């Protein structure tokens, strides 16, 4: 029962290589396209070989999620708390947009991996050092993470990624499907978004700063 080798060479499997290839496959084909046989094929191995590195598919999925968490930048320690939180949130949104399947997996799997825990700890540390009392720091964490995850979840459901694509889709898909007399406000809103050239990144920053601002107002002693 030795540990797995911690570096992945070109030939030879390892837990890291299996998980990394699984992530690549899920990014490319969606999580439904990720099967043990397919993944093994991608690695040039037989399906059952994978089970030497992961106990079962669930453990593989857990490991994939934790690698995703590793990709999210920790809050930097050399700036004010608002900049640190903003930077971490922006990084989280980027990572989750890159691996949209990760969000769908978070429901269902309950036990957080080590990277997830390390992240939690670092964020709480940043807030506490900034002067938030214990309970308030916990509240702040919940609010921020809820916003980030929820935004990423909504973004994953969008059929477009940029403001330009939004404009194109609005013309072709939304308006024909949403009669203005029945849904006046939706039409109005879609039009305004198109006119303003707002895409998901700008929208994200708006809400993020709103929340950070509100949290700043709760911080004692300014």
Residues that bind DNA (CB under 7 A): 1-2, 4, 12-13, 34-38, 45-49, 51-52, 56-58
CA-CA distances (angstroms) from residue 121 to 114, 126, 187? 11, 9, 43
- Select from 20, 156, 167, 170 the one that contacts its own copies (CB under 8 A): 156
Tokens coding 108: 């269902």
Residue 169 touches which member of its own copies, DNA, none, C-beta under 5-8 Å by kind: none
CA-CA distances (angstroms) from residue 20 to 15, 23, 194? 8, 5, 37
Distance (Å, rounded) from C-alpha 49 to C-alpha 45? 7
Q: Which is nearer to DNA, 42 or 73 (CB)?
A: 42
CB 66, min distance to its own copies, A? 13
Cβ count within 10 A of residue 29: 13
Residue 147, φ and ψ in degrees, nearest 5 = -60, -50
CB 52, min distance to its own copies, A? 25
Helix (H, G, I), strand (E, B) or coil at 110: coil
Q: Footprint of its own copies on residues 97-136 (CB under 8 A)? A: 100-101, 103-112, 117, 120-121, 124-125, 128, 134-135
Residue 47 touches which member of its own copies, DNA, none, C-beta under 5-8 Å by kind: DNA
DSSP 152: H
Q: Which is nearer to DNA, 43 or 178 (CB)?
A: 43
Place of tokens 């909504």: 154
Interface ranges with its own copies (CB under 8 A)? 30-32, 100-101, 103-112, 117, 120-121, 124-125, 128, 134-135, 137-139, 141-143, 145-151, 153-154, 156-159, 178, 182-183, 185-186, 188-189, 192-193, 196, 198, 203, 206-207, 210-211, 213-215, 218
């Amino acid at each position: 029962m030795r540990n797995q080798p911690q570096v992945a060479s070109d030939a030879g499997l390892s837990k890291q290589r299996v998980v990394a290839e699984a992530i690549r496959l899920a990014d490319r084909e969606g999580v439904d396209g990720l099967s043990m046989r397919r993944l093994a094929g991608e690695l040039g191995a037989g399906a059952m070989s994978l089970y030497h590195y992961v106990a079962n598919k669930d453990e593989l999925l857990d490991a994939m999620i934790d690698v995703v968490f590793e990709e999210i930048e920790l809050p930097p320690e050399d700036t004010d708390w608002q900049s640190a939180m903003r930077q971490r949130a922006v990084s989280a949104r980027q990572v989750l947009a890159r691996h949209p399947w990760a969000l769908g997996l978070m429901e269902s799997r309950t036990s957080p991996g080590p990277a997830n825990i390390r992240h939690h700890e670092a964020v709480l540390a940043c807030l506490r050092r900034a002067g938030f009392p214990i309970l308030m720091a916990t509240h702040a964490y919940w609010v921020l993470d809820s916003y980030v995850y929820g935004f990423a979840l909504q973004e994953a459901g969008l059929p477009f990624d940029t403001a330009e694509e939004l404009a194109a889709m609005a013309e072709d898909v939304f308006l024909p499907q949403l009669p203005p007399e029945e849904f006046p406000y939706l039409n109005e809103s879609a039009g305004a978004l198109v006119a303003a050239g707002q895409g998901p990144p700008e929208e994200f920053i708006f809400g993020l700063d709103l929340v950070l601002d509100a949290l700043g107002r709760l911080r004692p002693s300014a």
